[in-house]
Structure 1
Amino acid sequence: MPTREEYLELWGEENTVPVPVAEWRSKFAAPAATWPEVDLLPIDMSVAFTSYIDGEFSLFDEFEIRYEEEGDTQTFLILGKMPETATSFFVLDPDTGVIHLMDPEDMTLETVNATFAAFTRFLYRFAQFVEADEGEETRPARAEILERELKSIDPSAFVRHDNWWNMVVLLLKGELE
């Protein structure tokens, strides 16, 4: 597992934001194994992720979805968003540790990673991939290797063909525009 220093070196100190992981661990019910080994997220990760949020919501806001039929509410914590979108947020379910892609306008949830720990590892591996990029000629073969590595970390992220990480890998392979 990479150390905090390795995350900082790869993402860059100026390109990270501290995450209140210790506070969340004590406040929320997610199992211990779901929490990441570091208390950082990158601010900008190319086409994959940004923690720069402007508008109605802020980074780490608690967002509640109310389910009318059951009368229940579910809380999510905003971790970031898809770059180039206004409201496709990466959110943490603090009761399970699952990361979802959520659109608060239509209340849709798409599972991204089984745990917050897997999500940060994916972002780390993606940053390594980007840093070592030598261009379009070698990118597809390297994307195949990245896909295998990511699947070994969290196979659930690739269950559906249209899941977020599948789409990112397809883009890197040159199979999406």
Structure 2
Amino acid sequence: MTVPRAEAAANGVPEADARVLAEVGLPAELSVVFSLAAPGEPEAFTLVPVDTGDSVVKVLCLGGPTGNREMRYCLDLEDGYVILLTLGEQPGAEIVNTTLDDFVEFLYRFGLRFGHVGAVGDRQADEYTEQLRAYLEARDPQAFAEEDCWWSMVFDRLLGKEF
């Protein structure tokens, strides 16, 4: 799914990120980790004001984990980070990727992984998943900076590890 560049620019999306949204786009659905149609509010591609305590920052909602009402991926329009915003009684946010470009690459590679591991045994699937994690971690080390950060937990689950 793509967003017209003019619409992205009208929402204050920086030029490089507007290009990614207009020319590359986001998947409509990616098993478990991403959905443009996550239930509840806010909907994808809407601006969301977030009170940080020091100021109010505008972020662009990108979607959320599949079926999840409480979390949304958002693009921080000031810093360019993709964050995972936790909604509800105890709101919070964590950096998922340092750029929108990295986030889109992670989703793309994650989707390719499902196609690849469906045709191989468990050992080969784990090896492929470890190689994928190493590639993605080299690309965006911040995305794996903590054991309990989003992408670390996703890959731990893929590899059958407890978290």
Normalised TM-score (structure 2): 0.84
Residue 80 of structure 1 pairs with residue 66 of structure 2: no
Checking the alignment, whether the CA contact within 8 Å between 1:59 and 1:80 is kept in structure 2 is yes
- Ranges in structure 1 where 5+ consecutive residues have no aligned partner: 1-16
- Ranges in structure 2 where 5+ consecutive residues have no aligned partner: none
Going from structure 1 to structure 2, the CA distance change for 1:136 and 1:145 (only over 3 Å counts) comes to same
Checking the alignment, whether the CA contact within 8 Å between 1:114 and 1:157 is kept in structure 2 is yes
Q: What do you get for the CA RMSD once the two structures are aligned?
A: 2.3
Going from structure 1 to structure 2, the CA distance change for 1:135 and 1:78 (only over 3 Å counts) comes to farther
Q: 1:137 deviation in Å? A: 3.4
Checking the alignment, whether the CA contact within 8 Å between 1:25 and 1:32 is kept in structure 2 is no
User: Whose RCO is larger (CA < 8 A, sep 6+)?
Assistant: 1
Alpha-carbon distance in structure 1 between the residues aligned to 2:5 and 2:80: 11
Written as runs of structure 1 = structure 2, the 5 A alignment for 1:81-160 is: 81-105=64-88, 106-133=90-117, 134-160=120-146
Going from structure 1 to structure 2, the CA distance change for 1:35 and 1:110 (only over 3 Å counts) comes to farther
Alpha-carbon distance in structure 2 between the residues aligned to 1:156 and 1:31: 23
Structure 1 segments of 4 or more deviating over 4 A? none
1:67-104 deviation digits (Å, cap 9, x = unpaired) = 44x3x211111101112321211111012210000012
1:110-142 deviation digits (Å, cap 9, x = unpaired) = 110000000001111111111111353322211
Normalised TM-score (structure 1): 0.78
Residue 54 of structure 1 pairs with residue 39 of structure 2: yes
Instruction: Give the letter for the 2:161 counterpart.
Output: E
**SS in structure 1 at match of 2:63:** strand
